[in-house]
Structure 1
Amino acid sequence: MSRSVSVLLPIVPTRAEQAAPFAAFVQWRGARALWQGQVLLNEQHQILAQLSGMGLRVPFGIGVSLMPLRHPVQAAIEARTLAAASGHPVTAGFGPGARAFQAMALGEPYKSPLTACREYLHIVRGLLDGDEVDQRGTYFSYSGSIPRSPAPPVEVGLGVLRPGMARIAGETADVAITWLTPPSYVRDVIVPALREGAEAVGRPVPRVVSIVPMAAAADGRNTLAVLGTGSSDHFAAPHYRDMLTRAGVEVDGEDPSATARSLLAAGGALTGDPAEMAAGIAAYHAAGADEVVLNNAGLGMLEGPRAVLRDLEALFNGNGW
C-alpha cells in the first residue's frame, strides 16, 4: 500500500466557499484527500458535494459520521452520492460516538457498541456492493437493496480506539480510522487487532488512516496551547481518556496543554519545523498507518485558516507525498 498524507478541514464552515481553499490545496499540492469529521453545525456530505460543484473535485474522507444520526441505508446513499459528485473515491468512516451522545440521540446507549458497529457496517458495505441485504439485527435491520448507480468506489471505514473495535474493523471494514493514537499504539495494539479480526473471517486487513493533531513551530506561538485547544473535547471524553492511558499518555483533566505535552512525547502529535513534522509523519507510516491526516483544528480556532494554509504549504514543500 502507498503511504500518503491528507488534510483535515480545520474549520467548521457554514458555506462551501469557506472550505474551498483547503480543497484547492489538496487539488494542487498532492495531498491524498480532504477530510471532515462529524459536526452538528452543518451536514458534512453537503459541504463536500458543494465543493465538487464548484469544480474542486478531490477525494474526500469522512472521519467519522456518528451512527446514531443516520440509518445505514441513508449512509450508503450519501457516501455513494458524494463519490458520484466528486468523481473520486470516498472514504466513509463511521463510529458509535460517546456513550453520552448515544443516550442523547437514542434515549439510551448501545448495550454493545461492537455489535452495533458490526451490524451497521455489514448493511452499508452490502448495499454499496449491490447486494441484497437481509439482516435482522439487535440495532440495525434492513431487507433489500438500493438501485445500482455508476460512481467511483466507496471505502467503508470504522473509527477505532481500542482492540475490540479494531477487531470488528478487521472483520467488516475497508479502513480503520484512528484519532489521537500514538504511533507505538497503532503498531502494537491497533494493527495486530485488525489482523486478528481479518484473519478470523478470511478477508484482507483494512488499511489504517491516522488523524494526527499538528501545531507547527512559529514565532510567538504556544504550540502546546494550540494542540490542547484543538483536542480538549477529545481529551475529556472517557473513551479517549481510556485509549490515551493505555497508550502511555498522561491525561490531565484540568490542563489540556499538559495532556498535549504527554501526547507529543509519545509521538501522537506533530510540531516543530517541517523536517521534524515530516519525521513524525514517517513514524506513523512505519508503525502501519497507510494515510496520515493532518489535523490543524487548534490552529484554525486560534489563528484562522490562513495560518493553517501557510503551515501546510511549508510542510508539503519539498516532501514527496
Structure 2
Amino acid sequence: MRVGLFLNEPQGQDPIAELRESMARAADDGFASAWMSNIFGLDAITALAVAGSQVPGIELGTAVVPTYPRHPAALAQQALTANAALGGRLALGIGLSHRIVIEEMFGYSYERPARHMKEYLDILLPLTRGEKAQVNGETLRANIRLGAPGTGLPVLIAALAPRMLELAGSMTDGTVLWMTGPRTVEEHVVPAITRAAERAGRPAPRVVCALPVCVTDDPATAKARAAEVFSVYGRLPSYRAMLDREGAAGPGDVAIVGDEAEVRAQIEALGRIGVTDFVAAEFSARERTRELLKSLR
C-alpha cells in the first residue's frame, strides 16, 4: 500500500509558493503521492501543474474535480496539458460533487448523476488516450478529437454508491474515497469495484482511501477536533450514507487517531482489506503525525 498526503488549501499571500513548499516537503519525506481537493479556492489542476512542475518525483492527484461545471473535452484538454507539464505524474480524480453545490451554487441540474458520469467518462476517457470522442447521450454530447499530448493519464472517480463503484471498476483506474471507514471499505467498496473490474476484464483497480489522521495521547480530544473540523461532511448525503453504513455518528468516528502504535495498526489494516493508496489528511499534532507517517512509506 502506497502512502500519500492531502495538501492543505494554501492560506498565505503566495498560495502557489506555499503549495510548492508543501509538495516539496512531501516529496523529500518520501511520500508516494500528494492530493489536492478542488472546492472554492485554487483550481486544483492548474495549481498542481504550476507548483508541481518544480517538484519532481511525486505523483500529484486531484481529489476531486467536479464534473458538471466543465465539459469533459475541456477537462481532458486541461488535464492532458497539466500532465505534460508534470512529466506524466498527474492522477485525475473526478466526481459528481453534491446537489447543494451543483444546483444551488452553479445552477446546473443534478438529475441522473450516474447517467451523467457514464456519459462523461464515455467522452473523457477516449480523449485522454488520444482517441476521438463521439457521443450523443442524454446528458452530454461530443464529436471531437484533441491535439493535446496523451501520456497514460490515470483517471479515478469518487465512487460510493453501487452504480458509481460499477463505473469505477469497469471504466476507470479506480476510486478516490473520503470519509469512508474501514468496515465500509472492506465490505462494500472493495468487493463491488473489484467485481466490476473483473467482469470488464480490466486490471485490479486502485482504491485510494483518504482519512483524517492524528497521532496523539489524547484520542478523545482528537476525535472531537476532527468532528468539528470536518463537520460539513457529516451533513452531505453521500458521505452521510457511508458514515451510516459504517455505524459512525460523524467524521470524528472514522478519523484515525491514537498513539504511534495505534495509528500504525489502523493504517496497515487498510492495506490488508484492499486499499492500494492511503492518503493522510493531517489535522492536528502535525509534526508528530508526520513522523509516524514517514515511517510507513
Q: CA deviation at 1:131?
A: 1.1
Aligned-residue sequence identity (percent) comes to 26
- How far residue 148 of structure 1 moved from its aligned partner, in angstroms, is 4.7
Higher alpha-carbon deviation: 274-283 or 197-206:
197-206
Task: State the partner residue of 1:224.
Answer: 223
| Aligned partner of 2:7 among 6, 9, 26 | 9
Structure 1 residue 56 displacement after superposition: 5.2
Is residue 27 of structure 2 the alignment partner of residue 50 of structure 1? no
Amino acid at match of 1:276: E
Is 1:116 matched with 2:116? yes
Q: What amino acid sits opposite 1:240 in the alignment?
A: Y
3-state SS of paired residue (1:23): helix
Alignment correspondent of 2:257: 271
Is residue 147 of structure 1 aligned with residue 124 of structure 2?
no
Q: How far off its partner does 1:204 sit?
A: 2.6
Contact in 2 for aligned 1:89/1:155 (Cα 8 Å): no
Deviations 1:88-139 (A, max 9, x none): 4211111111112221355353321111111112211110111111101122
Aligned with 1:49: secondary structure? helix
* Unmatched 5+ stretches in structure 1: 251-258, 300-306
State how far apart, in whole Å, the 2-side matches of 1:316 and 1:199 are: 32
Superposition map of 1:20-99 within 5 A? 20-55=20-55, 58-99=58-99
One-letter identity of the residue aligned with 2:4? S
Local SS of the residue matching 2:212: strand
Q: Give, in whole Å, the separation in 2 of the partners of 1:287 and 1:53.
A: 34
Partner of 2:270: 284
Q: Secondary structure at the match of 2:61?
A: strand
Work out the number of aligned pairs and report it: 295
Letter of the 1:25 counterpart: R
User: Following the alignment from structure 1 to structure 2, what is the Cα–Cα distance between the partners of residues 169 and 180?
Assistant: 18
Q: Residue 313 of structure 1: which of 280, 284, 290 is its match?
A: 290
Q: Which is worse superposed, 216-225 or 31-40? A: 216-225
User: For residue 304 of structure 1, what is the aligned residue in structure 2?
Assistant: none
Post-superposition Cα deviations, 1:214-254, rounded to whole Å, max 9, x if no partner, equal 1221679930232113321111112211221122223xxxx
Contact 1:57/1:88 (<8 A) preserved? no
Report which of the two has the higher share of helix.
1
Give the Cα–Cα distance (whole angstroms) in 2 for the partners of residues 221 and 22 of structure 1: 28
How far the C-alpha of 1:194 sits from its partner, in A, is 0.9
TM-aligned CA distance change 1:220 to 1:98, over 3 Å: closer
Question: Taking structure 1 as the reference length, what is the TM-score of the superposition?
Answer: 0.84
Distance of 1:179 and 1:222 partners within structure 2:
21
Alignment of 1:195-210 (within 5 A): 195-210=194-209
Over the aligned positions, Cα root-mean-square deviation in angstroms equals: 2.2
Q: Is the 8 A contact 2:77 2:148 kept in 1?
A: no
**Larger mean Cα displacement after TM superposition, 47-56 or 236-245:** 47-56
Q: Distance in 1 between matches of 2:293 and 2:118?
A: 37
Q: What secondary structure, in the 3-state scheme, does the structure 2 residue paired with 1:222 have? A: helix
Alignment of structure 1 residues 184-199 onto 2, 5 Å = 184-199=183-198
Distance 1:83 1:284 in 2: 29
Q: State the partner residue of 2:181.
A: 182
Does the Cα contact within 8 Å between 2:9 and 2:41 map onto a contact in 1?
no
Distance 1:175 1:185 in 2: 16
1:247 corresponds in structure 2 to 246
Distance in 2 between the 1:32 and 1:317 partners? 11
Distance, in Å, in 1 between the alignment partners of 2:41 and 2:9 is 11
In 2, Cα distance between the equivalents of 1:210 and 1:216? 18
Rounded to whole Å, the distance in 1 between the matches of 2:55 and 2:242 is 40
**CA distance 1:276–1:244, shift in 2 (3 Å):** same
> Which residue is equivalent to 2:168?
169
